[in-house]
Amino acid sequence: MYLLSLRADVITSCCGALFSSGKEGFMSEVASLPSVPAKFVFFASITLTILSGVYFYMKGRGAYLFSSLSAISFVTSIAAIISFISLYFYELPAHHCPFDILQKEYNYIGYPMYIALFTAAVCGMGAGILNPFRKKESLRNVIPLFQKRLVAASLMGYIVFLGISVYPMIFSDFKLYGY
């Protein structure tokens, strides 16, 4: 309900204060991350997460690694949305708001993007959280199957998120050069 009630015609602290170039603070720092290193960290974390997820899905081992990488990928993905992904959707080099992509003007693309990212992160971290319960006799047969399903859902979420994020980078006329 909160996301549906956001109003794009009202200046909020996200756009009006957090990302202004004259301000100092965490959000301004994230928005001003250099594009090339931010892209490298984002794509490296997503790639490692997907590879570790495939490994866990195939072998049934590495739940803690996958869970940790999912948490890291979530954080780097949020930073990437603020620092460079949103710029490709807006096609404006100074518009970093992570919420405007939820609006009609951007075809509500933020909803599937955020749903995929949050699903991926929660399911990915959940696989690691459940890992200690594999040793319980009553859960020995249930937990591995549930973890496998969580990892599959997480992998699908990360792939959908990545696809949505990369699409405007490939097909938009907007390019970030030395930004």
pLDDT tens string 82-108 = 888 888 888 777 777 888 888 888 889
Look at residue 96 in the predicted model and tell me its pLDDT.
74
Kindly state whether residue 105 falls inside one of the protein's structural domains: yes
Q: Which amino acid is at 54?
A: V
Give the pLDDT confidence of 118-133 residue by residue, as tens digits: 999 999 999 999 999 9
Kindly state whether residue 116 falls inside one of the protein's structural domains: yes
Question: Sign of dihedral through CA atoms 54, 56, 62, 67?
Answer: positive
Kindly state whether residue 156 falls inside one of the protein's structural domains: yes
* Residues 60 and 151 sit within 8 Å (Cβ to Cβ): no
Kindly state whether residue 90 falls inside one of the protein's structural domains: yes
The residues, any chain, with a CB within 8 Å of residue 90's CB and separated by 6 or more, are 100, 101, 106
What is the rounded CA–CA span in Å between residue 73 and residue 42? 7
Strands (E), 40-142: none
What is the rounded CA–CA span in Å between residue 95 and residue 108? 17
Look at residue 14 in the predicted model and tell me its pLDDT.
52
What is the rounded CA–CA span in Å between residue 14 and residue 133? 40
Kindly state whether residue 88 falls inside one of the protein's structural domains: yes
Kindly state whether residue 86 falls inside one of the protein's structural domains: yes
Kindly state whether residue 166 falls inside one of the protein's structural domains: yes
Kindly state whether residue 60 falls inside one of the protein's structural domains: yes
Domain range enclosing 57: 34-171
Q: What is the pLDDT along the chain (179 residues), one digit of tens a residue?
A: 766 776 666 655 555 545 455 556 555 565 666 678 889 999 999 999 999 999 999 999 999 999 999 999 999 999 999 888 888 888 777 777 888 888 888 889 999 999 999 999 999 999 999 999 998 999 989 999 999 999 999 999 999 999 999 998 888 877 766 54
Look at residue 130 in the predicted model and tell me its pLDDT.
96
Stated pTM of the model:
0.81
Structural domains in the chain (count): 1
Look at residue 89 in the predicted model and tell me its pLDDT.
87
